């Protein structure tokens, strides 16, 4: 992978729009084994197990062995044969399940811990995308010999490894469906939400050869038609956003009416879909809990049973230990026993949606996402990837690497929840948007169609994605509102009341029972269904810094309160709601012109980013393993600096060092900064120069008038912690070396890495002569190139603001000591849009 290709391919898939979903069935072969401990057992398994797509061989074998306590001689003989097979040259690693997986244990929590403990070991001990996992089952006909672990564990690393199941079961059963002994976890290849993804690729056992094929079930999303062009537009104005993934329509809509009317509409749609009732499980992070969003949703649904689950927030807590609790799994089990569909509602940011979405994938629960940030709405929900990161002692070793593919039944945005955004979250949104504008440009133009002629059905969703910059005035107006001292003071007061509510709840003893219809009605007005748990310090989910001391959950009827506590809680909930009403009134007092600007900005950025994702995911690559990996642009170094920054936030907290808000950089902000660094690498290589380079960098600089993409605040924190430039660079590169994109193609030597780079102009990606790399817009880069741009970032070289000087030329002004700028951001945005479109009209850039 050493040469760059100058031109796009000549494929003409752009205008071909398929008429059906990508995958309609799943098939698996059951292979008869004459001797379960033959000397060539591994060779036979390797020969008969399908290879991962795009691979011509397995890279190695990881064997998962039963717990020693089961004392299964047949299984142990098989393991010995697998290890000793000299006819197979592949390296082997053996992982032993703990005693928690023993047949006598049927605890959901024990199953959960077993699944993720082995999943992590696979990653930490060298498994990659081309690894073959051989799961050795044991004799236990009633419980399936632990076979379900093969499916659940295999589903997780890299969101799916190739698994061969060696089973002792004497019945075929259904090799495309597995359920845990507790009944909480199950995976069904026929579940349409999985879009045909199933990790077990072959089964080996004592029965005769057999091929099993299962049709994927019909996709039943939640019908939103009643609220699209609703007859009462004053109460229910909505904005639907078209989106497809794998040929399936995912309903996405924003309710632009009042907060209460939005909740009413959500309740109506869910009740209509689940006419026999359902069991809502609302998941919410710290800030959304404190603001009352999660509890308000559960209350509005008016179901006789329900559960409210809260958890720590932020990227450092995007791990399995933060999202799995005995009580959560007990509530899912309760829903199943009542024959009610468990519906997990993710209320909050993208981390919450990704993580609790994985719990839904593991348990087969329906998923509904209710984003309270644009990043969750237009980025996280539009990906079928639901995942945890590999996190050890608050150190992010690898992002989003343990997960599955699972799509929600509905994405429902309540527009008024965006009013409580932080400055960091607003910047994170445009950081991701700048990535998209730079990699896709004007995709609905003739030149854009040529650039992406290899994307099946792209025309249906292709757009001029750069039009987002024409709404920069709305972004600035939103930031001015967010940063207003009165607004910040009101938000802080509301959050503090939310903390009081939670603290009172945390001191109340609970009983573990379901919610009866009579109990829920009397308790919903009390504490807004607030969770238990304790907290100290900052609650800001958007800040990515958590001081929440534990997971908590709340079923409305589990609370036993004194009359004094009841009265206090009722008063606090009422006070919070009154303050939220005043907070929203403060926004509308900005006047119609400013409110319209903000709405236009949010509507445009959401629609364009969703369309960009649909352009690739609708038909071409719903699992984001090939062409859609393009959306990882600027994520290589972005993930690296994000992970290292989060580690430093943790160190600062441990040492009692206050972290300035401007030093907290969220995922999208790190991506925005990395867009600049990627542009600089392209410029250093001579593949992005002149106007093309300047316009590429301008996207982020345009949105930097509030300093959201400045590195200087991070540098100041690093200086306080005693972090040197060399430590910073090495800390980021250590994460880059574990970047999961590396598994897709081979680097020529250990000093090389893979990345994605823009060439010539925004919207045109550099291509490689390596087939596996080109398929993903990856190119080989020197680690030295990455190191150099990180050193320049350390010196704050990229802390700039875009302006138009008196001569009418694009000018980048240093953020520090910027003084008064010549042009407004709207003038710069218009200039940028016209300049980029001018390049497309002219064809190519020299």
Coil/strand/helix, residue 437: helix
343 vs 519, more confident: 343
Is the confidence at residue 772, as pLDDT, over 50? yes
Would you say 679 and 755 are in contact if contact means Cβ atoms under 8 Å apart? no
Q: Compute the C-alpha angle 837/841/846, nearest 5°.
A: 95
pLDDT tens across 383-401, in order?
A: 999 999 999 888 889 889 9
Out of 260-264, 772-776, 786-790, which region has the weakest mean confidence (pLDDT)?
772-776
| DSSP one-letter code for 743 | G
pLDDT value for 553: 60
Would you say 504 and 559 are in contact if contact means Cβ atoms under 8 Å apart? no
Q: Count other Cβ atoms within 10 Å, centred on residue 423.
A: 20
Q: Helices 825-842 and 690-702: crossing angle, nearest 10°?
A: 150
Q: Tell me which H or E stretch contains 385.
A: strand 385-392
Tokens of 69: 């306590």
Rounded Cα distance between 428 and 435, Å, is: 11
Rounded Cα distance between 437 and 465, Å, is: 6
Rounded Cα distance between 533 and 512, Å, is: 16
Position 548 confidence tier, pLDDT thresholds 50, 70, 90: very low
Would you say 473 and 559 are in contact if contact means Cβ atoms under 8 Å apart? no
Biggest alpha carbon–alpha carbon distance for the chain: 84
Is the confidence at residue 740, as pLDDT, over 80? no
Per the prediction, the chain carries an average pLDDT of 90
pLDDT value for 102: 86
Strand partners, 99: none
| DSSP one-letter code for 585 | H
Out of 513-522, 680-689, 795-804, which region has the weakest mean confidence (pLDDT)?
513-522
- Nearest of 219, 274, 608 to residue 433 by alpha carbon: 608
Tokens of 610: 């969703």
Q: Helices 635-654 and 725-736: crossing angle, nearest 10°?
A: 120
Rounded Cα distance between 349 and 285, Å, is: 8
- Nearest of 286, 347, 273 to residue 313 by alpha carbon: 286
Q: Mean pLDDT over residues 566-575, rounded?
A: 94
pLDDT value for 523: 30
Please identify which residue in the block is written with the tokens 């081979």. 746
Rounded Cα distance between 171 and 249, Å, is: 37
pLDDT value for 214: 97
CA atoms within 13 A on the CB side of 587: 24
| DSSP one-letter code for 695 | H
pLDDT value for 555: 53
Please identify which residue in the block is written with the tokens 């607003």. 426
Rounded Cα distance between 816 and 684, Å, is: 25
Q: Mean pLDDT over residues 406-433, rounded?
A: 97
pLDDT value for 269: 97
Give the phi and the psi of residue 155 in degrees, each rounded to 5.
-70, -25
Rounded Cα distance between 371 and 167, Å, is: 42
Is the confidence at residue 668, as pLDDT, over 60? yes
Rounded Cα distance between 807 and 831, Å, is: 13
| DSSP one-letter code for 526 | S
Residues with Cβ within 8 Å of 635's Cβ and at least 6 positions away in sequence, in order, are 435, 671, 674
Exposed (0-12), middle (13-18) or buried (19+): which is 487, by Cβ within 10 Å?
A: middle
Strand partners, 344: 281, 367
Q: Mean pLDDT over residues 81-101, rounded?
A: 96
Exposed (0-12), middle (13-18) or buried (19+): which is 582, by Cβ within 10 Å?
A: exposed
Q: Mean pLDDT over residues 129-135, rounded?
A: 96
Out of 19-23, 103-107, 256-260, 505-509, which region has the weakest mean confidence (pLDDT)?
505-509
Residues with Cβ within 8 Å of 816's Cβ and at least 6 positions away in sequence, in order, are 712, 796, 799
Handedness of CA 711, 715, 721, 724 (dihedral sign): positive
Position 631 confidence tier, pLDDT thresholds 50, 70, 90: very high
- Nearest of 338, 344, 305 to residue 515 by alpha carbon: 305
- Nearest of 243, 41, 90, 62 to residue 158 by alpha carbon: 62
Q: How far is CA 70 from CA 66, 105, 114, 767, in A?
A: 7, 11, 15, 53
pLDDT value for 508: 52
Rounded Cα distance between 94 and 122, Å, is: 10
Tokens of 324: 């799995």
Out of 336-340, 729-733, 840-844, which region has the weakest mean confidence (pLDDT)?
840-844
Radius of gyration (C-alpha) of the chain in whole angstroms: 27
Position 11 confidence tier, pLDDT thresholds 50, 70, 90: low
Is the confidence at residue 313, as pLDDT, over 70? yes
Q: Tell me which H or E stretch contains 653.
A: helix 635-654
Q: Count other Cβ atoms within 10 Å, centred on residue 99.
A: 14
Is the confidence at residue 539, as pLDDT, over 60? no
Q: Are strands 410-414 and 366-371 parallel, antiparallel or unpaired?
A: parallel
Q: Tell me which H or E stretch contains 791.
A: helix 783-794
- Nearest of 572, 592, 591 to residue 580 by alpha carbon: 572
Detail the DSSP E strand segments found in 477-534.
Answer: none
Coil/strand/helix, residue 703: coil
Domains (range + CATH), the chain: 25-215 (3.40.50.1970), 440-476+594-842 (1.20.1090.10)
Q: Are strands 131-136 and 177-179 parallel, antiparallel or unpaired?
A: unpaired
Position 819 confidence tier, pLDDT thresholds 50, 70, 90: confident
Residues with Cβ within 8 Å of 122's Cβ and at least 6 positions away in sequence, in order, are 62, 95, 131, 133, 153, 157, 161
Share of the chain above pLDDT 90, in %: 80
Position 534 confidence tier, pLDDT thresholds 50, 70, 90: very low
Q: Are strands 252-255 and 410-414 parallel, antiparallel or unpaired?
A: parallel
Rounded Cα distance between 540 and 492, Å, is: 10
Would you say 736 and 747 are in contact if contact means Cβ atoms under 8 Å apart? no
- Nearest of 436, 344, 418, 424 to residue 382 by alpha carbon: 436
Exposed (0-12), middle (13-18) or buried (19+): which is 20, by Cβ within 10 Å?
A: exposed
Give the phi and the psi of residue 761 in degrees, each rounded to 5.
-160, 160
pLDDT value for 812: 96
Tokens of 476: 């600035």
pLDDT tens across 144-177, in order?
A: 779 999 999 999 998 889 999 999 999 999 999 9
Percent of the chain that is helix, strand, coil (3-state, to 5): 45, 15, 35
Rounded Cα distance between 624 and 637, Å, is: 19
Coil/strand/helix, residue 383: coil
pLDDT value for 554: 55
pLDDT value for 546: 41
Q: Helices 667-685 and 690-702: crossing angle, nearest 10°?
A: 170
pLDDT tens across 454-481, in order?
A: 999 999 999 999 999 999 999 999 999 9
Q: Tell me which H or E stretch contains 593.
A: helix 592-617
């Amino acid at each position: 992978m050493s040469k760059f290709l100058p031109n796009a391919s000549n494929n003409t898939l752009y205008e071909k729009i398929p008429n059906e979903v990508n995958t309609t069935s799943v098939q698996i072969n059951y292979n008869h084994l004459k001797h379960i401990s033959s000397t060539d057992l591994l060779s036979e398994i390797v020969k008969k197990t399908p290879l991962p797509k795009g691979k011509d061989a397995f890279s190695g074998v990881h064997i998962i062995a039963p717990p020693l306590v089961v004392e299964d001689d047949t299984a142990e003989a098989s393991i010995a044969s697998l290890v000793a097979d000299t006819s197979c040259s592949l390296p082997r690693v053996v992982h032993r399940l703990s005693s928690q997986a023993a047949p006598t244990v049927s605890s959901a929590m024990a199953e959960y811990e077993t699944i993720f403990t082995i999943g992590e070991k696979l990653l930490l001990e060298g498994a990659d995308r081309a690894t073959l996992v051989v799961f050795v089952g044991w004799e236990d006909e009633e419980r399936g010999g632990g076979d379900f672990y093969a499916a659940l564990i295999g589903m997780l690393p890299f969101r799916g490894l190739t698994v061969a199941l060696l089973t002792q079961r004497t019945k075929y059963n259904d090799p495309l469906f597995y359920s845990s002994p507790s009944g909480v976890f199950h995976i069904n290849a026929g579940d349409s939400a999985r879009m045909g993804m199933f990790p077990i690729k072959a089964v080996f056992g004592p029965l005769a050869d057999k091929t099993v094929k299962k049709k994927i079930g019909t996709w039943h999303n939640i019908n939103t038609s009643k609220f699209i062009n609703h007859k009462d537009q004053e109460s229910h104005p909505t904005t639907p956003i078209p989106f497809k993934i794998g040929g399936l329509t995912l309903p996405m809509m924003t309710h632009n009416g009042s907060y209460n009317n939005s909740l009413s509409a959500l309740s109506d749609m869910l009740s209509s879909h689940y006419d026999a009732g359902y069991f809502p499980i609302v998941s919410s992070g710290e800030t959304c809990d404190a603001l009352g969003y999660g509890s308000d949703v559960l209350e509005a649904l008016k179901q006789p049973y329900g559960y409210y689950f809260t958890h720590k927030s932020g990227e450092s807590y995007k791990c399995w230990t933060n999202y799995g609790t005995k009580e959560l799994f007990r509530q899912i089990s309760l829903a199943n026993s009542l024959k009610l569909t468990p519906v997990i509602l993710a209320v909050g940011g993208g981390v919450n949606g990704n993580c609790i979405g994985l719990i839904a994938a593991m348990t087969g629960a329906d998923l509904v996402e209710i984003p309270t940030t644009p990043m969750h709405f237009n980025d996280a929900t539009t990906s079928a990837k639901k995942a945890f990161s590999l996190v050890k002692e608050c150190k992010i070793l690898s992002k989003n690497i343990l997960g599955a593919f699972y799509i929600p039944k509905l994405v429902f945005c309540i527009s008024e929840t965006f009013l409580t955004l932080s400055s960091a979250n607003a910047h994170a949104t445009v950081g991701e948007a700048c990535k998209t504008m730079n990699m896709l440009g004007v995709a609905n133009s003739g030149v854009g169609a040529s650039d992406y002629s290899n994307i099946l059905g792209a025309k249906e969703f292709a757009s001029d994605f750069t039009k987002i910059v024409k709404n920069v005035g709305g972004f600035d107006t939103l930031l001015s509102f967010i940063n207003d001292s009165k607004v910040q003071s009101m938000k802080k007061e509301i959050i503090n009341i939310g903390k009081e509510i939670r603290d009172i709840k945390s001191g109340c003893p609970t009983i573990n029972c379901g919610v009866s219809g009579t109990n829920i009605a009397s308790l919903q007005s009390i504490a807004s269904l607030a969770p238990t748990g304790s907290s100290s310090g900052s609650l800001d989910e958007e800040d990515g810094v958590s001081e929440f001391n534990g997971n908590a959950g709340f079923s409305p009827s589990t609370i036993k309160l004194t009359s004094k506590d009841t009265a206090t809680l009722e008063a606090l909930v009422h006070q919070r709601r009154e303050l939220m009403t005043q907070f929203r009134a403060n926004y509308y007092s900005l006047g119609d012109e400013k409110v319209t600007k903000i709405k236009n900005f949010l509507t445009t950025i959401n629609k364009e980013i969703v369309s960009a994702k649909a352009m690739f995911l609708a038909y071409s690559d719903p699992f984001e393993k090939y062409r859609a990996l393009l959306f990882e642009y600027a994520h290589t170094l972005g993930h690296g600096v994000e992970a290292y920054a989060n580690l430093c936030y943790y160190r600062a907290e441990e040492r009692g060092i206050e972290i300035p808000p401007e030093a907290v950089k969220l995922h999208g902000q790190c991506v925005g900064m990395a867009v600049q660094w990627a542009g600089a690498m392209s410029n250093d290589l001579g593949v992005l120069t002149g106007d093309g380079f300047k316009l590429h960098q301008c996207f982020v600089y345009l949105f930097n008038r509030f300093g959201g993409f400045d590195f200087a605040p991070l540098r100041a924190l690093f200086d306080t912690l005693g972090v040197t430039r060399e430590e910073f660079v090495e800390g980021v590169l250590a994460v880059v070396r574990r970047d999961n994109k590396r598994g897709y193609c081979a680097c020529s030597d250990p000093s090389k890495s893979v990345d994605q780079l823009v060439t010539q102009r925004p919207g045109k990606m550099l291509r490689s002569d390596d087939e596996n790399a080109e398929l993903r817009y990856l190119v080989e880069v020197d680690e030295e190139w990455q190191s150099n741009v990180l050193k320049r970032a350390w010196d704050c070289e990229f802390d700039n603001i875009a302006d138009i000087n008196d001569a009418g030329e694009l000018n980048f002004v240093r953020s520090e000591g910027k003084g008064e700028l010549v042009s407004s951001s709207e003038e710069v945005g218009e200039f940028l849009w016209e300049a980029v479109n001018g390049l497309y009209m002219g064809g190519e850039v020299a």
